[in-house]
Amino acid sequence: MSLSYTLGFSHFFLFLSPVSAFLCLKH
């Protein structure tokens, strides 16, 4: 369960990182 949670958080961070960078560049 802990491993699955860590994997989910990792994927979420990997998805959020480019999105936040794109928003920063757009701003």
CA 12, 13, 14, 15 dihedral sign is: positive
pTM of the model: 0.45
The type of residue at 1 is: M
Q: Give the span between the Cα atoms of 24 and 4, in whole angstroms.
A: 30
Of the listed ranges 1-5, 10-14, 21-25, the one predicted with least confidence = 1-5
Q: Tell me, what's the pLDDT at 1? A: 64
> Hey, where are the domains in the chain?
1-27
* Percent of the residues in the chain that have a pLDDT greater than 70, as a whole number: 96
Q: How many residues are recorded in the chain? A: 27
Of residues 9 and 27, the one with the higher pLDDT is 9
